[in-house]
Structure 1
Amino acid sequence: MTLTTADRPATAAAPTSDDLVARAAELVPLLRRNAETTERQRRVVEENIEAIQAAGLYGVSVPSRLGGLQTDLTTSLRVSVELARGDGSTAWVSTLMNVCSWMTGLFPDRAQQEVWGEDPAARVCGVLSPTATSRKVDGGLVVTGKWGFASGCLHSQWAGLGIPVVNDAGEPIDQGMALIPMSELSVEDTWYVAGMRGTGSNTLVAEEVFVPDHRILSVTRAIGGDYPTEHQDESLYRSALVPVLALVLIAPQVGLAKQALEIVKSSLAKGRGISYTFYEKSSLAPTTQLQVAQASQLIDTAELHMLRAAGDIDRAAEAGEYLDFATRARVRADVSTIARSCREAVDLLLNVHGAGSFAEANPMQRVWRDLETGSRHAVVNPEIGFELYGRSLLGVEEQITALI
């Protein structure tokens, strides 16, 4: 049985963007309490997942006609920032599952109904890299492969996985993303890392899994804004593919930098001094004041770049236009600027907080490791982002990646 909007019971007015951000902020104390357990267990504790689900925050990218909230990208990013103020791993997993739900909204209605028709609360994880083999059969492809770094795979019911699309002769003709139920996949426990330990970003495995044609999205066409969804009136699912996929990766980093600033300010408020100096209160030292101010400005810079980029994406989608190439290239550079600014901010805050930052009992060390790990995602690579933007600015036609 599938559900339409008419089948669903009447509900109260949809929450505003600020309402959803406030809900995320209310969860920060819980996520902080569970951060150590999440890291130790190498997966987000179920209490966090259930609380975020209860707050409706896994519905931000799900179509409203299928029980979701269908907000804009700006709202989704602001929610991610707040969650990362609580815990980086929880925010990362939640962000990736939400963006995979958004990608599911680009598929044909038949595929969307299979994901959410029976279960509007279904969550989706995903890996874009086509690390698999495909075999053409009647009505679809048979897929075998392994996909590493599958954030959210321990909490999802579906997975969107990169595959080569082949013809009858087995020749690659496209790159696709296949929607596959988690019940048809296995999970290899491979996630042993220094940072973002709690994300449980393990390896997904498929052995001769049949994927029907309607559950295969052409990534090549999607990069240019050609989405197969029949619901062309839904502006959220007109958003530009690569800018969305890149921008979501840095929202947790902004939240982590904010968390670091809060930790340092709280510590300074307790009147701690500077060891081996005459400063009985570190907050009275010009070096402390300058570094905290500089860190705060860097975090503001990161957030302002994030919101500008999200606003550009949202406005183009609302207008029914696909974001132009120059702006898409700039968004890749924005992502680079945000990652670099957050890392520099936390580095300054570590200077202020001192060597005690690295005590295992101090949450600063986890923030630092999570940020250093998350900001090294391949799509976030600052040098790559700046190079492709520079080529765009200078009119160099040959680019270094299709992901723009």
Structure 2
Amino acid sequence: MREGTAVSPHASDVFAKIAERAEEIAALGPVNEALGRLDDQAAKILRDVGVIKMLQPAAYGGYESHPREWAEATMAVAAQDGATGWICGIVGVHPWEMAFADPRVQEEIWGEDHEVWVGSPYAPMGVLKPVDGGYEFSGRWQFSSGTDHCDWLFLGALMGDKDGVPLLDPPQLIHVLLPRSDYTIVEDSWDVVGLKGTGSKDIIVEKAFIPDYRTITYTSLVDGSAWRDRGLTNPTYQMPFSAIFPLGITSAVIGMAEGALAHHLAYQKGRVQITGRKVKDDPYVMYAVADAAAEIHASRVTLLDGVSQMYDAVAAGKEYEFGERSLSRRNQVAAAWRAVRAVDEIVARSGGNGMRMDHPLQRFWRDVHMGLTHAIHVPGLVYHASSLSMIDVEAPGYMRPMI
């Protein structure tokens, strides 16, 4: 937490529970990786500690936490196991968007059980074909993190015409909610080098019927009409989508970097180099470790201060325009890259034993690099748009969807 920052009672309870279960979360890291998904006990721990409910509406048992608190909880979990932290950041953001959903689908999902998880992905890999009362929906998606433990999904879609051909001038991006009975999880579709334990498998939908009320337009999430239409007064729900969605993912990456640093320090404490000198007496290694630790800390502070400042501004009635959002995204992307570069510096000074498969450092190293490949961490268009904003030039449309 930032010095002098108050912590809500719910968040304080979540932090305490994470600390109590930290060793158990860490011990399940290799289990998650071997399974290729989150172990059932790991998922149960997340339900027990309440991270996934931090952004969930209070009407359905959620805590409506400050997004900074959710980010810090995600970091704390990711520092123990990258895959488990990743689920906190990915699955944990969906209750925030559920606050904007039609009350009918809110009741369908949480009416009987407030613990139901909603997965994704948001990439528009499906097409909505208008039919009476709603849409016919088909497509295939990759990267549905934590999907084995979710009973509903948000899936990205393009609006189509009556023949199911996407409308592309301009494209209309839609988030679609559908239950487990309407999609198929493709087993053995998650064979990757890092974050294996997230179980981010493929999803297939074939001609599912989607009622009108189970859709949310992406535009409404960007322009603020989603929260206005629902009359939401908590500033958490008035934050831009482009700030909240990337926040959980980058928080997980920074938490993994903190975990890598912790394992490196524990290993180096008693390590002796081939020359016979103890690592603690090598000024070159100690300098590099301190520098990397400072970079990871700077990443954390940048991300948390950014979301705190935005929250305070939104609470005061400010609306964030595209240019300001682009600067926020620039800082978020930079924080992720800075943290991962620091992990590389740590690993380069860990010796060959740090890369043995029974050493947790190598798993954190792989996981943090896998996390950096997420689309929200690609710097090109974000950096270009933010630079244009700084010189008062309007960014073209193709730069806008991720901002």
Where structure 1 has 5 or more consecutive residues not aligned to the other structure, the ranges are 1-13
> Counterpart of 1:15 in structure 2: which amino acid?
P
- 1:152 matched residue in structure 2: 146
- 1:187 matched residue in structure 2: 185
Query: 1:284: how far off?
Result: 1.3
Distance in 2 (CA, whole Å) between partners of 1:312 and 1:111 is 32
The equivalences for 1:118-157 within 5 A come to: 118-157=112-151
Question: Are 1:274 and 2:273 matched, yes or no?
Answer: yes
- 2:255 matched residue in structure 1: 255
The equivalences for 1:42-61 within 5 A come to: 42-61=36-55
- 2:102 matched residue in structure 1: 108
- 2:63 matched residue in structure 1: 69
Match of 1:178 among 165, 172, 176: 176
> Counterpart of 1:233 in structure 2: which amino acid?
T
Query: 1:334: how far off?
Result: 1.2
Distance in 2 (CA, whole Å) between partners of 1:88 and 1:174 is 34
Question: Are 1:307 and 2:304 matched, yes or no?
Answer: yes
Where structure 2 has 5 or more consecutive residues not aligned to the other structure, the ranges are 1-7
Query: 1:20: how far off?
Result: 2.0
The equivalences for 1:195-234 within 5 A come to: 195-227=194-226, 229-234=229-234
Match of 2:18 among 15, 24, 43: 24
Cα distance change of structure 1 residues 318 and 108 upon mapping to structure 2, 3 Å threshold: farther
Deviation digits for residues 238-264 of structure 1 (CA, Å, limit 9, x no counterpart): 111112112221111111111111112
Distance in 2 (CA, whole Å) between partners of 1:24 and 1:46 is 17
Provide the secondary structure at the position in 1 that maps to 2:177.
strand
| RMSD, aligned CA | 1.7
Distance in 1 (CA, whole Å) between partners of 2:55 and 2:220 is 21
Deviation digits for residues 333-374 of structure 1 (CA, Å, limit 9, x no counterpart): 112211111112111111221121211111111000001111
Q: State how many pairs are aligned.
A: 388
- Counterpart contact for 1:177–1:219, Cα < 8 Å: yes
TM-score (normalizing by structure 2)? 0.92
- Counterpart contact for 1:185–1:205, Cα < 8 Å: yes
Query: 1:385: how far off?
Result: 2.7
Query: 1:72: how far off?
Result: 1.6
Provide the secondary structure at the position in 1 that maps to 2:273.
coil
Provide the secondary structure at the position in 2 that maps to 1:237.
helix
Question: Are 1:291 and 2:288 matched, yes or no?
Answer: yes
- Counterpart contact for 2:195–2:371, Cα < 8 Å: yes
Deviation digits for residues 256-281 of structure 1 (CA, Å, limit 9, x no counterpart): 11111111211222x21122x241x1
Cα distance change of structure 1 residues 168 and 317 upon mapping to structure 2, 3 Å threshold: farther
Distance in 2 (CA, whole Å) between partners of 1:395 and 1:139 is 45
Provide the secondary structure at the position in 2 that maps to 1:352.
coil
Question: Are 1:165 and 2:197 matched, yes or no?
Answer: no
TM-score (normalizing by structure 1)? 0.92
- 1:4 matched residue in structure 2: none
Cα distance change of structure 1 residues 303 and 215 upon mapping to structure 2, 3 Å threshold: same
Deviation digits for residues 146-166 of structure 1 (CA, Å, limit 9, x no counterpart): 111111211111100011123
Between the aligned residues of both structures, percent identity stands at: 26
- Counterpart contact for 1:109–1:230, Cα < 8 Å: no
- Counterpart contact for 2:389–2:395, Cα < 8 Å: no
**Runs of 4 or more off by more than 6 Å in structure 1?**
none
- Counterpart contact for 2:261–2:346, Cα < 8 Å: yes
- Counterpart contact for 1:239–1:316, Cα < 8 Å: no
